[in-house]
Amino acid sequence: MSYTLSFKPAIDLYGQHDPSAALFEDGELRFAIEEERLTRDKHAVDTFPERAIRACLDHEGIELADLEKIVLPYDPKLRRKILPHYLKNTVQLEGTLRKVTHLRNVARDQFVARFLPTRAVESRLQRIGTPVPPIECRSHHECHAVSAFHPSTFEEALVVTIDAKGEYDSTVVWHATPDGLSRVRTYDHPNSWGLFYAAITNYLGYRMFNGEGKVMGLAPYGEDNPEIERRLRETIDTGVDYDVTALTGRWGTEHGVAALEELFGRPRSTDTDEFDQFEKDLAHTAQKLLEESVTEMVGTYVDRVGTENVGLAGGVALNCKLNKAVREHPAVDEVFVQPVAHDAGLALGGGWIDRRPADVDPMTTVYWGHEHATDEIRGLLETNKIEYTEPDDLERRIAERIADGALVGWFQGRSELGPRALGNRSILADPRTEASRDRVNRFVKHREEWRPFAPSMIESAADEYLENATTSPFMIDTFDVRPERRDDLRAVVHPADDTTRAQTVRKDQNPRYHRLLREFEDATGVPVLLNTSFNDHGEPIVDTPTEALKDFFGMGLDVLVLGDCVVEKSGSSDASP
């Protein structure tokens, strides 16, 4: 028995967002969780994943010393390749003091990266236990690529990893075979689509590395705007030889935002509740240019390496509209997108990086987190004097309540890894009416009312509802909804383009959730539910029953299902379920 721990630190040189940890036994994934679920701080910025590491060890009942090795999905020594960029940034700064300070920081960064790459990590791990096992540093983008190929079903694939930045690289094209991965092309930082989209996100009033999904959701409300497109195309180059450094070429995104302000002659947005037509058109154009470049890149290199299979990972691969464009490219046969595509998924690639691809099981689930026993849930409810029932026909009762308009918090089994709730930490509602969507936005999620929701549906029914339907268990791809079925899915169809980001559900993947969908189908004729993550605006998805109860009583939910236990707010139902 051999244990490997892989984690993304998010301290000092190692990045700033989405630390996570994953534990493997003889190469098999046993437990994985993001630090934000435990700190309750969205993205856990600048946080060492001590809680996530402890949770991994506690799940298996082992100590740090029981690990054979630790893998960090980041290799600081590769940062020497980014030194010319940092020196160029120094020259561009105004004022001698700022230049000296920046140069001093660059020198310290390079010294630590070269001579003390794991010292900070070792000192933090010593708080958890000693001795600290051997630590190996592996390439950021290679770990992303491993996470997109090894757990796929492909024998061979083109893999594209796209994010803000690795050690020195921003986008990498890989040829993946049974023997492993080889780089085909590297786009060096700061030539980064992740940073380009982050600058657009900031300019539109959201925080970078947090609001990109909202910009993607805003994009279909916009239209082709020749003037916006002309100005952007005069500033950046798209296509397989893209160059976005006019907006991303300096430290951070503030330069990019300032450049956009000058380019369009208007300041950044400050109100994200409503957007004018210019802002919608800008989001639309940014999405269009991203899709244009990545699909051209994919089309060029699948032909060059001789495969029709494509794997995607990196934070930009969370863009489900982009994934749809790749999937529909005529040169592409099949696509696998790592469901934990952002940096939290690096822990998965780090754990698999020394395994042969054939030795890694296909990824069919992301339920790798905490689970809470029914006795624990009962004890919590009884200690807090919260009335509950345990109906024998739970799925039927809850399906009927949803069909009658109830908004349901659904807390089951092991928590999901990644940004999507997939039926274990979910808020559920009737997908058939716009009123249902609006209630969830206004009274439950407390977010902008224009934002769309996504559905869960029984996999065997996907062809009936979706154009070009494929298995989609991770809610990371977008589909056109068949015109004759749009009235059944009004709450989960994007109002501007009639698409939806569907999750397909099989019985073997999630038996209870599948039963609930079947019961809802029996009650309504529609095997679909509106499914959004169980969290309030600006907080991580709930991880514990206590957190679920807090959100239940603080949000406009009517029913809470904790395992076998059902809690209702007083007056929310004419009859107890």
Q: Express each pLDDT in 84-100 by its tens digit.
A: 766 676 666 677 777 66
**DSSP conformation letters of 18-72:** --EEEEEETTEEEEEEETHHHH-SGGGTT---HHHHHHHHHHHT--GGGEEEEEE
**In the prediction, which pLDDT does 252 show?**
63
Q: pLDDT band at residue 112, thresholds of 50, 70 and 90?
A: low
Question: Does residue 167 register a pLDDT over 60?
Answer: yes
403 half-sphere exposure, CB direction, 13 A CA radius: 19
**In the prediction, which pLDDT does 83 show?**
73
pLDDT in tens, 181-219: 999 999 999 999 999 999 999 999 999 889 999 999 999
**Residue matched to tokens 């991580």:** 540
- Confirm if 344 and 47 have CB atoms less than 8 A apart: no
**In the prediction, which pLDDT does 13 show?**
39
Sign of CA dihedral 304, 307, 310, 311: negative
Strand partners for 160: 173, 312
Quick check: helix, strand or coil at residue 117?
coil
Judged by phi (left if over 0) then psi (alpha if -120 to 50, else beta), residue 5 lies in beta
What percent of the chain lies above the pLDDT cut of 90? Answer: 84
Tell me the H-state helices in 420-573: 434-439, 462-465, 511-524, 545-554
Pairing verdict, β 528-533 and 454-458 = antiparallel
Nearest to 346 by CA among 15, 11, 1, 3: 15
Average the pLDDT over 437-446 and give the result: 90
Q: pLDDT band at residue 575, thresholds of 50, 70 and 90?
A: very low
pLDDT in tens, 270-291: 989 899 999 999 999 999 999 9
Comparing 75-84, 157-166, 542-551, which segment has the lowest mean pLDDT? 75-84
Encoded amino acid at 545, one letter:
P
**Residue matched to tokens 């969370």:** 318
420 half-sphere exposure, CB direction, 13 A CA radius: 28
Question: Does residue 574 register a pLDDT over 60?
Answer: no
- Confirm if 349 and 7 have CB atoms less than 8 A apart: no
Q: For the chain, give the mean pLDDT.
A: 93
User: Mind telling me the catalytic residues?
Assistant: 17
Q: pLDDT band at residue 12, thresholds of 50, 70 and 90?
A: very low
pLDDT in tens, 38-86: 999 999 998 999 999 999 999 999 999 999 999 999 998 888 877 776 6
**In the prediction, which pLDDT does 101 show?**
72
Spatial neighbors of 215 by CB under 8 A, at least 6 apart, are 197, 200, 201, 204, 206, 283, 286, 287
Please give the structure tokens belonging to residue 441. Answer: 């936005």
Average the pLDDT over 505-528 and give the result: 98
Question: Does residue 521 register a pLDDT over 70?
Answer: yes
What the chain holds in terms of domains, given with CATH numbers, is 3-142 (3.30.420), 193-359 (3.30.420.40), 370-568 (3.90.870.20)
pLDDT in tens, 312-339: 999 999 999 999 999 999 999 999 999 9
- Confirm if 16 and 10 have CB atoms less than 8 A apart: yes
pTM score, two decimals? Answer: 0.94
Q: Is residue 111 packed enough to be buried (19+ CB in 10 Å), middle (13-18) or exposed (0-12)?
A: exposed
